[in-house]
């Protein structure tokens, strides 16, 4: 999404022109990726999922204040509470440990990190090393989940390949962290019924998607929708997204998202 499209979407959401889609009191799961040091690099990066430390800090401050309310308490993804918020990160970036974790832990906010083992093994310094992942897994309130072994579109693979991707990532993370891994998010948001069936068969209890929506009663635990957090999202925009003022985007994306299920 370029900046002009983003500003147009922001104007629509701010004006609340699509209030019929609003669902303010439903469970929301936020999807973050990378947190970068300065706001300029966040704006300049083509990756809309790299948010600045400045904006992320403002998000944490807002979530910490709201967490005092039953309706906006930040809870772990597996928590069955309704009308709450959960925080998730995909891919396993190093800045999840160095920037995001200290802020979240300081404010006693639990969060989930979905890690792709091949990113860790690669030695790419954008991602967590094995030692850093172990450190992250031991922090209070942190839950580690899988994100496929090699970040492939699972819905394009054969059953044996899907099984290998899901089981290998689970086993690798469990061996390294000495934690039970029962959660995952689908790489690229790509899944179908076969992927879900295999995920359940190898021991996953919860799986997060990239589909925009609320985690409400009736949602399958292996098909949890999330709310995208983008690099231009300031505190006001985060509040709007949690209030449901951006849910109309989910309606627009639904036909596209249906093609990856």
What is the domain-level CATH number for residue 229?
Answer: 3.20.20.370
pLDDT reported for residue 190:
97
SS3 145: strand
pLDDT reported for residue 258:
46
pLDDT reported for residue 81:
79
Supply the angle between the helices 235-243 and 3-15 in degrees, to the nearest 10.
Answer: 60
The reply to whether 47 falls in a domain is yes
pLDDT reported for residue 259:
47
Domain count, the chain: 1
DSSP secondary structure code for residue 19 in this structure: G
Q: Which domain holds residue 231?
A: 23-258
The reply to whether 3 falls in a domain is no
The reply to whether 15 falls in a domain is no
The reply to whether 13 falls in a domain is no
The reply to whether 1 falls in a domain is no
pLDDT reported for residue 5:
76
Cβ–Cβ < 8 Å for 248, 12 = yes
The reply to whether 2 falls in a domain is no
Q: The whole model's pTM is what?
A: 0.90
The HSE-up count of residue 216 (CA atoms within 13 Å, CB side) is 7
Cβ–Cβ < 8 Å for 37, 55 = no
User: Considering all CA atoms of the chain, what is the largest pairwise distance in Å, rounded to the nearest integer?
Assistant: 50
pLDDT reported for residue 184:
99
pLDDT reported for residue 11:
73
Helices (H) and strands (E) in the chain, counts: 11, 9
What is the full per-residue pLDDT of the chain (261 aa) written as tens digits? 567 777 777 777 777 655 554 555 689 999 999 999 876 665 556 688 999 999 999 999 999 999 887 668 999 999 877 779 999 999 999 999 999 999 999 999 999 999 999 999 999 999 999 999 999 999 999 999 999 999 999 999 999 999 999 999 999 999 999 999 999 999 999 999 999 999 999 999 999 999 999 998 889 999 999 999 999 999 999 999 999 888 888 777 665 454 444
Distance in angstroms (rounded) separating the CA atoms of residues 150 and 153:
9
Q: What is the CA radius of gyration of the chain?
A: 17
Within 8 A by CB and 6+ apart from 164, the residues are 149
The reply to whether 94 falls in a domain is yes
The reply to whether 160 falls in a domain is yes
pLDDT reported for residue 144:
99
Distance in angstroms (rounded) separating the CA atoms of residues 163 and 198:
6
SS3 191: coil
């Amino acid at each position: 999404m370029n900046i002009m499209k983003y500003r147009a979407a922001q104007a629509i959401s701010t004006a609340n022109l699509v209030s019929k889609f609003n669902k303010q009191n439903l469970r929301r799961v936020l999807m973050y990726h990378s947190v970068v040091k300065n706001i300029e690099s966040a704006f300049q990066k083509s990756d809309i999922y790299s948010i600045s430390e400045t904006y992320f800090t403002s998000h944490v401050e807002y979530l910490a204040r709201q967490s005092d309310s039953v309706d906006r308490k930040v809870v772990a993804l597996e928590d069955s509470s309704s009308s709450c918020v959960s925080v998730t990160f995909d891919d396993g970036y190093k800045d999840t440990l160095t920037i995001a974790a200290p802020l979240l832990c300081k404010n006693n906010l639990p969060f989930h990190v979905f890690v792709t083992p091949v990113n860790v093994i690669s030695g790419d310094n954008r991602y967590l090393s094995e030692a850093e992942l172990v450190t992250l897994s031991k922090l209070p309130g942190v839950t580690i989940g899988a994100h496929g072994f090699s970040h492939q579109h699972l819905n394009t693979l054969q059953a044996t390949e899907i099984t290998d991707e899901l089981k290998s990532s689970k086993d690798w993370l469990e061996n390294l962290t000495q934690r039970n891994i029962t959660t995952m998010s689908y790489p690229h948001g790509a899944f179908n019924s076969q992927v879900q069936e295999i995920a359940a068969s190898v021991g996953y209890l919860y799986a997060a998607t990239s589909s925009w929506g609320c985690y409400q009663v009736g949602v399958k635990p292996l098909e949890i929708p999330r709310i995208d957090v983008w690099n231009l999202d300031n505190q006001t925009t985060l509040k709007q997204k949690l209030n449901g003022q951006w849910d109309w985007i989910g309606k627009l994306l639904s036909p596209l998202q249906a093609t990856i299920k």
